[in-house]
Amino acid sequence: MKMENGQVTELPVPSKAALEQERKILLDLGNDIARVREKNDLITLFSKRIKSFFYFTHTIVTLIESKDETYTPFLLDHEHSPIRDHNRYGEMVAAHFSLNDPFIQAVLAADGPISFLLEDIMDKPQSPSFLKVNYERGVREILMTTLRNEEKPVGFIHIYTDRTEGFSLEFRDTIKGITPQLASAVANIIKNEEILNKEREKSFLLEFSSEIAAVRTKEDLALAVHTGLSKLNALRGYVIRKINEDGETLSTYIYDPGIANFDDPEWVAVTTARFPLYDGLQNRVLESYIPLLFSVEREVQRGITSSYLHYWKKVGYRTMVGIRLHYGITNLGILWLGIEEINIQLLQGICFQISVAMANIVANEQVEKTQQEQAFLLDFSNDIAQVKTKPDLEAAIFKVLDNALHSKLSMIRLIADDGVSMPAYMFDNTLFVNAGVTHEQMAASVITIEEPYTAKVLASKDGVVFDIAEELKGGSAYAKLWAATGLKYVYALPLRAGNKLLGTIWLHSDWLSQLVLRGICAQISVAIDNIQANEKLLAYKKQLEVENDYLKEQIKTIYNFSEIVGSGEAMQEVYRLMSIVASTNTTVLVLGETGTGKELIARALHNSSSRKDKLMVKVNCAALPTNLIESELFGHERGAFTGALDRRIGKFELANHSTLFLDEIGELPLEAQSKLLRVIQEREVERLGGKQTIKVDVRLIAATNRNLEEEVKAGRFRADLYFRLNVFPINLPPLRDRAEDIEPLIHFFVAKFAKNTGRKIRKVSPKVIQQLRSYTWPGNVRELEHLIERSVLLATDEVLQDVYIPKQSTSDKQDLSFILNRTLEEVERGYIVEVLKRCAGKISGPGGAAEILDVPGNTLHSKMKKLGITKADYFS
């Protein structure tokens, strides 16, 4: 068939000679095909064989690629191709021409070779560009025929000539005849190539796998991947991005060392950034089981904004292949290849190997990281364990954030006692310096648990991560402030101690490990809880100390007079007065019935004064013979009066710089009263018979059981002396008026006498206490003291069960005063005599006095001897 001037004409039947030539060519070609080593050798030999019979310039074989309905050069006779010198030659060789244009459709439709004058068709719409390029290089006519394999078109033979007289009929016949053989030769070559490629891939993968098996570190992996991938055609670099712990972003894990460009800030930015997984590219790769080839330009036009895509465009990558790296069902990341063509199977093989190596390295890194993080947390917990105060905690937190986590503390807020407001507890006031808001201002703002961000954090289990860029899009006022830190995320966590919510912590960072974050927050929570508990304790302690001081002061007032027993109201008033006057030089008049403790009070006053280092001097005014009173008080010179053989220092002089206790002052004769008054007024004494006066510094305490006012009225006591003495009166209440002191006094005396006598008395029976409380105590404390002394002496048990309480009758009162005015020895003697009388003088044996007194007979004998009891006493 021949196409001339658009007319198809039937070709005449081939001649015998032509058939011969064809046979020869076929034979030669058959032999050639068996020898062909290089695929292009086939076309060279084919050209050579035919050229020995017919004229043409060159020939090529194109192959159909059914998937995209194109055909593309496959076998080229470079050597003879006139277009080799054409500047579009490279482009032609790699081009894919559409199967849908009329030119090639005519070829496909023809039953054999079909020829075209280039001039006629090259400028027709849709005509393939190689026609024109050939024409420009002098080619004028083309003969085309379809190569079929099992009836299916697989490619075309193109034969070109620079002459215009066309291809002869013989030539066409020959071509037609050898086409099937050429077709099967091409099919074999393709098959061979496929087998060869498979072999190459296998050995490549084997090599790659052994290289990658030796990889232990990220850096080794980067190099191995580079070496492996560089064997792929037209690779322009790669990058592997790993899915981050958040599961939502990917960051560069390794990159082709060949494309690293640290001088380019854009490259650095793209290499260090975290890209969201769902960006329209990465998610597609991760969802695809096969590698995906992207046209960079097309994706940009689709509106993908990812900065890495735009970077690729900028550096001239036209197509990129993204391959999912996974281990089992777990996605690890993406391998991005800058490559124009892909061999899917080979890539998948490579990626499988990379995935395994990467999974191992990542797992190792994870183990190492976990160990580091645990060691780090241990360190932090050691620091925290030392923390006792807020400044300690602040130091520990800032240390860990600055040195180890490269993060900043924006705020710790704690829930106040009202359970609602959240005042600032701790913050880094350098953080918002660039934001024009001082941290103090922020810290001073009132936040409650209902503030939306805070509420979200408090309600979360493990905290919330705020992506500052995202928050900015939402127009949050906080985000503007946060953005000023230059850090990417805010990690906000609730602080909890057990089930108790303490508050929130806000940290700024580009990235923080969840494990570490949770670890440090847990420890910070415990530390804050402890500090708060400690602060409460300290406040409580402080309060206790204040209370303690106050109590001590009180005790000082009330109980400083330690030897005085009784804390009832009446005695407290006494103590109060004593504490007012004790340290002064004021004259004190102690008033009270006999035995109420006047002398005790006087001694206590002296002992609490600055004069306590010197002995208190006591004068019993009642016990002195009238004629000796003056000499006793003021002293005398030798020979001052009959019997004054020596000079004598008087009590006033003796009490210089000390206290003079004038007991029973009411008994002082009037004459002595006036002398005393003079000394008190002058504060100087003159010894009897002496010529000079002696200055004395004496503090006076006087005591009496008389009513001095009455005495003054009766003219027995000088009024002026009374006024001198009655400067600071202290009234001691009788014991009957302070029943509440009776029990403490009982215990005090029981302990005292038990100790003195070596007896063990642990308790006093309630009955005894009751009896003693209801007695009227005319002899006051002294009477109680004596009664207990006797009872202890007579006690037969560890518990004081019985006491002798005088009857309250008038005669008893006399008896009582009789007893009271006797010494213990006298009372004891009288008691034993009484018992002996009742026993009719029988000392030992049944019914004897020893039995009644419950003492051994010998003891009673020696006691009687000691007390001088004779038969005359109990038989009289």
| Interacting residue ranges for ligand ATP, rule: CB under 6 A | 564-566, 592, 594-600, 663, 703, 705, 781-782, 785
For 868: left if phi > 0, alpha if psi spans -120 to 50, otherwise beta; the answer is left
Q: Which is nearer to ligand ATP, 663 or 686 (CB)?
A: 663
Which one, 570 or 677, has the nearer CB to ligand ATP?
570
Nearest residue (CB) to ligand ATP, 747 versus 861: 747
User: Which of residues 516 and 787 has its CB atom nearest to ligand ATP in the complex?
Assistant: 787
Structure tokens belonging to residue 767: 């009955």
Q: List CB contacts of 654: < 8 A, sequence separation 6 or more.
A: 617
Joined together, the tokens standing for residue 329 give 């069902």
As measured in angstroms, the least distance from the Cβ of 597 to ligand ATP is 2
What dihedral do alpha carbons 674, 680, 683, 686 form, nearest 10°? Answer: 30
Q: Of 291 and 734, which CB lies nearer to ligand ATP in the complex structure?
A: 734
Minimum distance, C-beta of residue 564 to ligand ATP, in the bound complex (Å): 5
How does DSSP assign 187-227, residue by residue?
Answer: HHHHHHHHHHHHHHHHHHHHHHHHHHHT--SHHHHHHHHHH
Residue 191 half-sphere exposure, CB side, CA atoms within 13 Å? 7
Q: Indicate the residue among 397 and 703 with the shorter CB distance to ligand ATP.
A: 703
How far lies 270's CA from each of 239, 250, 273, 320, 483, in Å? 11, 11, 5, 16, 20
Smallest distance, Å, CB 711 to ligand ATP? 15
Phi, psi (deg, nearest 5) at residue 278? -90, 75
Token readout for 128 is 């393939």
- Phi and psi for 526 in degrees, rounded to 5? -60, -45
Least spacing, CB of residue 731 vs ligand ATP, in Å? 12
Q: Compute the distance between CA of residue 869 and CA of residue 876 in angstroms, rounded to an integer.
A: 12
Q: How far is the CB of 554 from ligand ATP (least distance, A)?
A: 19
Residue 297 CA to residue 318 CA, distance in Å, equals 7
Shortest distance, CB of residue 774 to ligand ATP, whole angstroms?
A: 19
CB of 612 to ligand ATP, least distance (A): 18
Which residue, 77 or 667, is less far from ligand ATP as judged by CB? 667
| Helices 218-229 and 169-213, axial angle in degrees (round to 10) | 170
User: 569-581 and 514-559 helices cross at what angle (nearest 10)?
Assistant: 90
Nearest to 592 by CA among 756, 707, 493: 707
List strands edge to edge, sheet with 658-663.
Answer: 617-620, 658-663, 698-704, 588-592, 728-732
595 or 650: CB nearest ligand ATP: 595
**C-alpha count within 13 angstroms, C-beta hemisphere, residue 403:** 9
Rg from Cα positions in the chain: 63
Beta bridge partners of residue 620, listed in sequence order = 663
CA distances from 844 to 794, 832, 853 (A): 18, 13, 10
Identity of the residue, 447 or 781, whose beta carbon is nearer to ligand ATP in the bound complex = 781
Nearer to ligand ATP, 507 or 701 (CB): 701
Mention every residue, 6+ apart, whose C-beta is less than 8 A from residue 537.
Answer: none
Nearest to ligand ATP of 355, 596 (CB atom):
596
Closest to ligand ATP by CB, 600 vs 867, is 600
Query: Residue 125, CB half-sphere, CA atoms under 13 Å: how many?
Result: 0
| Rounded least distance, CB 526 to ligand ATP, Å | 55
CB of 781 to ligand ATP, least distance (A): 3
The residue with tokens 């590219």 is 281
Between 250 and 701, name the residue whose CB sits nearer to ligand ATP. Answer: 701
Whether residue 477 contacts residue 451, with contact meaning beta carbons closer than 8 Å, is answered with: no
Are the beta carbons of 731 and 725 closer than 8 angstroms? no
CB of 580 to ligand ATP, least distance (A): 19
Query: Which residues on neighbouring strands pair with residue 497, listed in sequence order?
Result: 500
Taking CB positions, which residue lies at the least distance from ligand ATP?
Answer: 597
Nearer to ligand ATP, 564 or 588 (CB): 564
Give all strands (DSSP E) within 530-630, no chain letters: 588-592, 617-620
Query: For residue 673, how many other CB atoms are within 10 A of its CB?
Result: 19
Minimum distance of ligand ATP from residue 559's CB (angstroms):
12
Angle, alpha carbons 79-84-86 (nearest 5°): 165
CA–CA gap between residue 18 and residue 166 (Å, rounded):
17
Indicate the helix (H) or strand (E) that contains 574.
helix 569-581
- Least separation in angstroms between residue 782's CB and ligand ATP is 4
- Least separation in angstroms between CB 747 and ligand ATP: 11
- Which residue, 42 or 800, is less far from ligand ATP as judged by CB? 800
Based on CB atoms, which residue is closest to ligand ATP, 357 or 668?
668
Nearest Cα to Cα of residue 843 among 861, 818, 829, 817: 861
Question: Is residue 161 within 8 Å of residue 57, measured between CB atoms?
Answer: yes
Q: What is the C-alpha separation between 380 and 401, in angstroms, rounded?
A: 10
Distance CA 318, CA 340 (A): 7
Q: How far is the CB of 579 from ligand ATP (least distance, A)?
A: 16
Q: Specify the residue, 15 or 731, whose C-beta has the smaller distance to ligand ATP.
A: 731
